């Protein structure tokens, strides 16, 4: 049990680094001069984010509690079958443990991000390098916390129970929390964004981020809860799920140690990458972020090679892990091509904006569709390659190879999350700098940082989708393994009409799920618009901006939160319930097809929406930077419409699909024995 213990030690080290960065960020001075209100604005955003988290977690405690009771009652075997309650308790506790750790990671991330935003804005007065460091180290706190807690949780749990099913339940806990954190945060942020724009910019003609607008703080909060907490929960979830999937197969092969070995070394490589990443005063922050990632990848490959040689692990498995990592990089580069504002697609879409918004939508949507092929091929090649590499080892090794490819892809996730959380922090910093009038020099620097953040965000999204894709393929293997252990026969033959039936239903679920989220944003923002009208009508002096009159920001935050959770629960539940229905009707064959259909259309829609959304956003920015008429031109108006369509695509529905496919895969694996025991067909 050497490597699980090493994993715990490295996790502790990562927590140490996170704590160090946290204190480092917290001690940075802010540029509040008593007049510009910087601290007050920072405080409002911070309070708002915590208001959201408190409200969300209160609801989630109830939800997770109910699910834990259900798990206790029926998993791994129904209590009334009289096989004792011991294992059921372990499952339920593991589930709660997973949810709690995921929630904690989100809490830490929000906590630092809402300090780092004002610090980064303030540091920008001293130049690019200090501002970059404030943003990046703020993001790195989240990156370290997420990976450390997921690795620590899995290692502790496995050491305590020795049961891969418990890790599966742990993963399900993380996933169900991620489902809410990601989609909930996504609905929250877009609700506030749209409502603030509609009432502020369109109706009242007050500028963006005007403090009179009751939704303005909710809007700023949204950036944090959507991108920091949401994406963190998503990658926490993928990270744990890949470990769990590999574990299920590894137990029989006696290779459990290897998983923790690779996980620990990946985290170690990320720690080094995070500590080393910095930018010179004249340097390019985007390049700094990327070179940090490449360094982490190279380190991971070298360290795991050494460890494999030392521990006598087959180099074929090592190759599979490295292949997975390489696929992640390729997918990131693809996303960058389709979304980057110096590449052809963004320029073409910006050009199309001149012909009106319909062309903005059509061209952006088309490029989004095109972007699916390379990423899906990348996932396919990685899975196939990993399998074929490990095929000569025989037995279950090929499936284990796919699992390790997913573990490899996620090995550098600490670095990836750091890059991603950097994005919303410097985005917020830019907003704070503008609201508090820190001057043009500061804005120029924060603009530069923000642009680098946009690109890294696009890469992260592609990476997150790829990781989810490879992970769910590994989970499909875990599902099969569980079915076999439950005494079921497995022939997921495409020609079996049950498989086909399942595939058709599974394929439609990500579509329905996305539609429910997008319609949720729609409904919710209309509710918030009403509240904003109410405040303007009943609070005297608010509309005119009388000194000392502030709107009730909390009300809007509460509406966004309550609405987000209310709209989300049906979508998440729908996915889970349909999965169970398919399983109890069609049995494991139908579920096999269902997962397959769900994965392929899920990946397709996730990629399409994330990339099209990012593309529209950057096309708008490209025009704003002076092309095709610049700000205020007809092309710009068309681009703004594209961007608004893209907002819930890229920040609500698209990236939530990852979590949907992972949750569905985990539900299937956990319920496999039940499906074998009782299904209609």
Give the Cα-Cα-Cα angle 24, 181, 135 (nearest 5 degrees). 25
Please choose, out of 142-150, 442-450, 515-523, 624-632, the segment that lies near a copy of itself by the rule CB under 8 A: 515-523
Residue 490 sits in the site that holds a copy of itself (CB under 8 A) = yes
Stretch that binds a copy of itself, among 285-293, 323-331, 382-390, 453-461 (CB under 8 A): 382-390
Q: In the bound complex, what is the minimum distance in angstroms from residue 469's beta carbon to a copy of itself?
A: 8
Residue from the set 61, 275, 443, 508 that interacts with a copy of itself by CB under 8 A: 508
> Are 402 and 472 spatial neighbours (Cβ–Cβ below 8 Å)?
no
Tally of CB atoms within 10 A around 62: 10
How far is the C-alpha of 275 from the C-alpha of 268, rounded, in Å? 11
Task: Give min distance, CB of 513 to a copy of itself, in A.
Answer: 9
Instruction: Measure CA of the first residue to CA of the last residue in the chain; give whole Å.
Output: 43
* Among positions 50, 359, 536, 584, the unique one binding a copy of itself when judged by CB under 8 A: 359
Q: Minimal distance in Å, beta carbon 213 to a copy of itself?
A: 17
Please give the Cα distance from 341 to 346 (Å, whole number).
6
What are phi and psi for residue 495, nearest 5 degrees? -85, -10
Q: Does 486 bind a copy of itself (CB under 8 A)?
A: no
Q: Residue 178 or 505: which CB sits closer to a copy of itself? A: 505
**Size of residue set near a copy of itself by CB under 8 A:** 77
Q: Can residue 147 be called a binding residue for a copy of itself (CB under 8 A)?
A: no
Q: Within positions 571 to 590, which residues make up the interface with a copy of itself, using CB under 8 A?
A: 586
In angstroms, the CA 114 to CA 107 distance is 11
**406 near a copy of itself (CB under 8 A):** no
Nearer to a copy of itself, 263 or 602 (CB): 602
475 binds a copy of itself (CB under 8 A): no
Is the backbone of residue 445 left (phi > 0), alpha (psi -120 to 50) or beta?
alpha
Tell the smallest beta-carbon distance from residue 376 to a copy of itself (Å): 4
Helix (H) or strand (E) holding 41: helix 38-74
Give the residue, chosen from 138, 398, 423, 583, that forms a contact with a copy of itself under the rule CB under 8 A.
Answer: 398
Minimum CB distance to a copy of itself smaller for 298 or for 490: 490
Among 13, 156, 362, 539, binds a copy of itself (CB under 8 A): 362
Contact status, residue 660 vs residue 464, Cβ threshold 8 Å: no
Is 179 in contact with 659 (CB distance < 8 Å)?
yes
**Least Å from the CB of residue 678 to a copy of itself:** 19
In the list 45, 116, 247, 379, the residue contacting a copy of itself (rule: CB under 8 A) is 379
Number of C-alpha atoms within 13 angstroms, CB side, residue 592? 25
* Cβ nearer to a copy of itself, comparing 99 with 644: 644
Query: Among residues 19, 104, 381, 580, which is the contact residue for a copy of itself, using CB under 8 A?
Result: 381
Q: Cβ 595 to a copy of itself, closest distance in Å?
A: 8
Distances (CA, A) of 105 to 14, 143, 502: 13, 9, 35
Binding positions for a copy of itself, 180-239, rule CB under 8 A: 198
Q: What are phi and psi of 59, to 5 degrees?
A: -70, -40
**Locus of tokens 């990012």:** 614
Contacts with 318 (C-beta within 8 Å, 6 or more apart), sequence order: 304, 305, 308
Contact positions with a copy of itself (CB under 8 A) in 319-358:
352, 355-358
Site for a copy of itself in 609-648 (CB under 8 A): 641, 644-645, 648
Sequence length of the chain is 681
Residue spans of alpha helices (H) in 371-439 = 372-390, 397-411, 413-435
């Amino acid at each position: 049990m050497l490597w699980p213990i090493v994993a715990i030690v490295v996790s502790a080290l990562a927590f140490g680094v996170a704590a160090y960065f946290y204190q480092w960020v917290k001690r940075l001075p802010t540029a509040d001069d008593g007049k510009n209100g910087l601290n007050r604005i920072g405080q409002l955003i911070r309070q708002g984010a915590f208001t959201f988290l408190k409200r969300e977690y209160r609801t989630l405690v109830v939800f997770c509690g109910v699910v834990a009771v259900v798990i206790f009652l029926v998993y791994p075997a129904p209590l009334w079958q009289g096989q004792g309650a011991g294992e059921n308790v372990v499952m339920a506790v593991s589930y709660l443990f997973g949810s709690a750790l995921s929630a904690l990671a989100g809490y830490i991330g929000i906590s630092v991000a809402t300090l780092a935003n004002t610090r980064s804005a303030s540091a920008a007065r001293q130049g690019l390098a200090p501002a970059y460091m404030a943003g990046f180290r703020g993001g790195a706190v989240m990156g370290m916390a997420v990976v450390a807690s997921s690795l620590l949780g899995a290692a502790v749990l496995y050491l305590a129970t020795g049961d891969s099913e418990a890790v599966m339940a742990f993963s399900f806990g993380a996933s169900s929390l991620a489902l809410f954190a990601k989609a909930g945060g996504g609905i929250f942020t877009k609700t506030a964004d749209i409502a603030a724009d509609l009432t502020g910019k369109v109706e009242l003609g007050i500028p963006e981020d005007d403090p009179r607008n009751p939704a303005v703080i909710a809007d700023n909060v949204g950036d944090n809860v959507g991108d920091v907490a949401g994406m963190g929960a998503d990658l926490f979830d993928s990270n744990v799920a890949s470990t769990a999937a590999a574990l299920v197969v590894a137990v029989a092969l006696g290779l459990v140690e290897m998983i923790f070995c690779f996980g620990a070394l990946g985290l170690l490589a990320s720690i080094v990458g995070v500590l080393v990443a910095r930018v010179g005063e004249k340097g390019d922050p985007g390049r700094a972020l990327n070179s940090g990632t490449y360094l982490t990848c190279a380190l991971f490959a070298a360290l795991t090679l050494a460890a494999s040689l030392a521990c006598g692990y087959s180099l074929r498995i090592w190759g599979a892990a490295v292949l997975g990592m390489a696929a992640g990089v390729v997918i990131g580069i693809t996303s960058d091509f389709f979304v980057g504002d110096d590449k052809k697609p963004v320029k073409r879409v910006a050009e199309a904006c001149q012909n009106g918004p319909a062309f903005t939508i059509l061209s952006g949507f088309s490029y989004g569709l095109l972007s699916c092929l390379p990423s899906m091929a990348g996932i396919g090649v990685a899975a196939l390659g990993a399998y074929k590499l490990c095929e000569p080892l025989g037995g279950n090794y090929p499936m284990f190879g796919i699992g390790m490819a997913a573990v490899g892809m996620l090995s550098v996730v600490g670095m990836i999350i750091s890059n991603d959380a950097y994005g919303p922090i410097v985005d917020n910093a830019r907003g704070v700098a503008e609201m508090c009038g820190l001057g043009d020099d500061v804005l120029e620097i924060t603009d530069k940082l923000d642009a680098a953040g946009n690109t890294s965000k696009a890469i992260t999204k592609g990476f997150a989708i790829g990781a989810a894709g490879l992970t769910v393929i590994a989970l499909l293997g875990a599902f099969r393994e569980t079915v076999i252990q439950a005494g079921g026969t497995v022939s997921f033959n495409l020609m079996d009409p049950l498989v086909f039936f399942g595939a058709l239903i599974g394929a439609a679920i990500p579509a329905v799920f996305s539609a429910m989220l997008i319609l949720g944003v729609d409904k919710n923002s209309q509710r918030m618009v009403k509240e904003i009208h109410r405040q303007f009508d009943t609070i005297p002096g608010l509309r005119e901006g009388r000194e000392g009159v502030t709107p009730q920001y909390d009300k809007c935050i509460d509406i966004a939160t309550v609405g987000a959770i209310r709209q989300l629960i049906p979508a998440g539940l729908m996915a889970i319930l349909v999965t169970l229905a398919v399983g109890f009707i069609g049995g494991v064959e139908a579920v096999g097809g269902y997962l397959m259909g769900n994965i392929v259309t899920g990946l397709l829609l996730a990629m399409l929406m994330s990339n099209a959304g990012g593309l529209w956003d950057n096309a708008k920015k490209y025009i704003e930077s002076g092309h095709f008429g610049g700000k205020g031109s007809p092309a710009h108006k068309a681009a703004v419409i594209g961007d608004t369509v893209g907002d819930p695509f890229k920040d609500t529905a698209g990236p939530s699909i990852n979590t949907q496919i992972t949750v569905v895969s985990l539900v299937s694996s956990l319920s496999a024995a039940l499906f074998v025991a009782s299904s209609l067909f």
